Structures are given as structure tokens and as C-alpha cells.
């Protein structure tokens, strides 16, 4: 599958790989990249031969945030909102039925960090720089960051990062539980690919059930979460429909 202007799409066994490819601008996220990611995620979801997704970036960065050169280019605020919601790429990413591994390096800033936070497993290379600068720039994160950041590291830590917009390194990201592992730059992609391949070889229905139980259960009471777990377990054994 090819023809994308802003990313590379490939398959390695049962692992699909999306690699952001605007390396000349540190993979800054623009409208075209949104459209390309939307189409690539649809391909992942619809391909029965894909069991997991690996997301990474070409060049010196994973993603340095939104492309600010596009700000103010829409004919009106109404048109800008219509463009933003025409394709809910973040909702599609969040609702993907297959596990997602994200490997970040260089810069993982703004929407770059928000993309990573929508994933199931996040790895970072030593030397990666993280930040959520939107508030300091007079904006509100628009790719789910106000929701995913607090769920990952807690409300107090999330507000610190959002209010200050400060930069922090991979060691702090690991302490804050924003990432699961730190690797050398040379080992980042091999480790991420190995993790994605391991996920892809599992029973797809079981992986989807566990993913649903954990992600949906995070917003439920313990009793509701246990009930959800029971329904999913029954579905796996063919005793009832999934719900």
C-alpha cells in the first residue's frame, strides 16, 4: 500500500508499520498527514492479516507537534472546525481494535506526544525530548491530550506539564509512566518491532477483549469493570455476545 504524501506504510509479517515522513520539518503534523493517518488506520483495521500496528517517525524526530504554518489559513473559524472534525483521526486511533506500539525518538512534542498516548505500548529512545506546549501557545490540546495525559501520569503531573509546557527527557517520561521502556537509539525499532510482532501473533479475539477490558474499565467502577471482564470472558468462550 503506497501513495501517501506524508507517511510510509508497510507490512512486516502480521505487523503494519506507519512511519511519519515529513522529516524535513521534524514530522510536524498537518492536515495532509491527518488524512494520510486516517486512511492508513482504516487499512490496518480492515486487513485481517494485520495483528498489530507499529507507529514511528522518519529522520531526526517522531513528531515535533502541529504544523503552525497552517494556523490561520482556513477561510473562517467555522471552516477550521469543520476541517478538524471532518475526519476524527484521534477517535479512529483510540477505537482501533488492534494493539498499537509507538516508538518515539528525537522530539515527541504536542500532538506527537498525544499520538503516542493513544497507543497501547510506548517506547522511547534515550535523548528524546517531550513537551506539551499548547497552553503556553494560547491553545488547548486538540488530539486528546487533556484526557490521555492525566490518565497516564495522574492529574497533578498532567497539569504541571500542560500549564508549564516545559520540556522533559525520556527518564522523566518513564518515571511519569508516559512510556513503558527506554532504549538506545539503535535498539528502539528492533525492540518495538519485536513487541508488536509478539502482540500480533496472539489470538486476535483475546487481545481485543483484554484491550477493551482495560481501556473501557478505566472509566468504570470496580464492580462495573469486573462485570465487563466477565462478559468479555463469556464472549471468548462463545457463551454470549461481546458487550
Cell representation of residue 27: 514530522
List Cβ neighbours of 175 (8 Å cut-off, separation of 6 or more): none
Q: Which of 39, 86, 114, 172 is catalytic?
A: 114
Tell me the backbone φ, ψ of residue 141, rounded to 5 degrees: -50, 135
Tell me the backbone φ, ψ of residue 241, rounded to 5 degrees: -75, 155
List Cβ neighbours of 120 (8 Å cut-off, separation of 6 or more): 99, 100, 101, 199, 211
Q: Which of 82, 86, 134, 172 is catalytic?
A: 134
Residue 39 annotated in active site: no
Cell representation of residue 100: 498499537
Q: Can you name the residues that pair with 100 across neighbouring β-strands?
A: 53
Residue 172 annotated in active site: no
CA distances in angstroms from 134 to 18, 36, 140, 145, 232, listed in the order given: 25, 23, 6, 10, 38
What is the number of alpha carbons within 13 Å of residue 20 lying toward its C-beta?
Answer: 35
Q: Which helix (H) or strand (E) holds 91?
A: helix 89-95
Quick check: 75 and 123 in contact, CB under 8 A?
no
Q: Looking at the annotation, which residues are catalytic? A: 114, 134
Amino acid at each position: 500500500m503506497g501513495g501517501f504524501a506524508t507517511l510510509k506504510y508497510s507490512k512486516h509479517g502480521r505487523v503494519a508499520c506507519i512511519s511519519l515522513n515529513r522529516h524535513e520539518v521534524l514530522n510536524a503534523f498537518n492536515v495532509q498527514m491527518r488524512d494520510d493517518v486516517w486512511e492508513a488506520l482504516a487499512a490496518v483495521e480492515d486487513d485481517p492479516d494485520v495483528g498489530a500496528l507499529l507507529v514511528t517517525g522518519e529522520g531526526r524526530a517522531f513528531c515535533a507537534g502541529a504544523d503552525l504554518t497552517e494556523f490561520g489559513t482556513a477561510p473562517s473559524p467555522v471552516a477550521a472546525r469543520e476541517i478538524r472534525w471532518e475526519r476524527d483521526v484521534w477517535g479512529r486511533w483510540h477505537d482501533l481494535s488492534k494493539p498499537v506500539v509507538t516508538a518515539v525518538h528525537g522530539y515527541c512534542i504536542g500532538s506527537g506526544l498525544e499520538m503516542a498516548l493513544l497507543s497501547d505500548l510506548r517506547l522511547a529512545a534515550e535523548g528524546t525530548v517531550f513537551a506539551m506546549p499548547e497552553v503556553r501557545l494560547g491553545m488547548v490540546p486538540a488530539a486528546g491530550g487533556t484526557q490521555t495525559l492525566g490518565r497516564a501520569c495522574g492529574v497533578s503531573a498532567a497539569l504541571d506539564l500542560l500549564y508549564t509546557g516545559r520540556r522533559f527527557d525520556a527518564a522523566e517520561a518513564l518515571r511519569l509512566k508516559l512510556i513503558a521502556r527506554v532504549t538506545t537509539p539503535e535498539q528502539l525499532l528492533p525492540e518495538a518491532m519485536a513487541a508488536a510482532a509478539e502482540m500480533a501473533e496472539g489470538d486476535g479475539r483475546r487481545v481485543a477483549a483484554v484491550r477493551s477490558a482495560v481501556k473501557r474499565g478505566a472509566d468504570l467502577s470496580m464492580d462495573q469493570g469486573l462485570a465487563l471482564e466477565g462478559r468479555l470472558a463469556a464472549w471468548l468462550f462463545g457463551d454470549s455476545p461481546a458487550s
